[in-house]
A and B are shown apart, each in its own frame.
Chain A
């Protein structure tokens, strides 16, 4: 066998990001099996992983894990390049941008729950704007804002609490 001329040596960072992205992908695939009353209202369990990555390893790693989750998750679910994929991407990108800002809030006062709430609201915000601009070019989509806002509040709180708890109990790897 010819020896490959390209050598890719994964660094320790690569391995860690891959492991964390796997956890996020597993959660989003598992979540896809939960029947939900309204498209777009989802617990967003993968965001627990994103929050943990953000708080333990920083924003750069969180971006990697979140985007790998969006791409690989959509490939596994057969959603790649379908509308759902773009919605998911828009939500992820917006929420990463917001997380990049709110992560600088003083940690003495603001914990994972605040980050999670901001991320959840950014998620629905990004998705609604894309939906308004592209999928449903009509202000009627905003009629659902209160439903999405309630979902973001509830799931943002729950995910933030779980992330905070896991950060406390997971061994520092």
Chain B
């Protein structure tokens, strides 16, 4: 039985193999950067009763209060993320969704007719359509 030394394994690699390996690693890094960071959202769109109620940048913290048929929905924005902080709806689905941080992510408070969605960047999915 041969001893499996690292040296023996490395001897199997020819110069082009290192190039192919570098190329493969580059594909990993580039695809991760392109697909996982390019989709960073840069703005928040708040709709009430089907109309755009407010649009705000995602760079600074602020709170938006949206009136609806049931009462006021409070939307909280922090750098890079946003959430529905409180809502008068009975089931609180949009509040429980927590912080949204990906482009295309949407929280809908249907009873109060308010929705919060993140836009900008290369939005890679659309939770409303699919």
Contact = CB atoms under 8 A, between A and B. Distances in A.
A149 B27 contact: yes
A161 B9 contact: yes
A117 B20 contact: yes
Contacts of A105: 16
B28 A150 contact: yes
Interface string B94-130: 0000000000000000000000000000001100001
A152 interface: yes
B15 interface: yes
B16 to A, nearest CB: 4
A54 B19 CA distance: 21
A149 B31 contact: yes
B21 A165 contact: no
Interface in B1-55: 2, 8-9, 12-17, 19-21, 23-25, 27-28, 31-32, 35-36
A160 B35 CA distance: 28
A111 interface: yes
A106 B36 CA distance: 36
Contacts of B125: 138-140, 143
A113 B35 contact: no
Give the secondary structure class of B's interface. Answer: helix
Given A117-B24, A149-B27, A149-B28, A111 B35 contact: no
Contacts of B25: 153
A121 B64 CA distance: 47
A57 interface: no
B24 A149 contact: yes
Contacts of B15: 109
Contacts of B124: 139-140, 142-143
A164 B20 contact: no
Nearest to B8: A165
Interface string A39-62: 000000000000000000000000
A114 interface: yes
Interface string A142-161: 11011001101100110011
Max chain A C-beta neighbours (<10 A), residue from B12, B35, B36, B130: B12
A110 B130 CA distance: 45
B24 A111 contact: no
Contacts of A73: none
Contacts of A168: 12
10 contacts: A111-B13, A117-B23, A121-B24, A139-B124, A143-B35, A143-B125, A153-B21, A153-B25, A160-B17, A164-B12
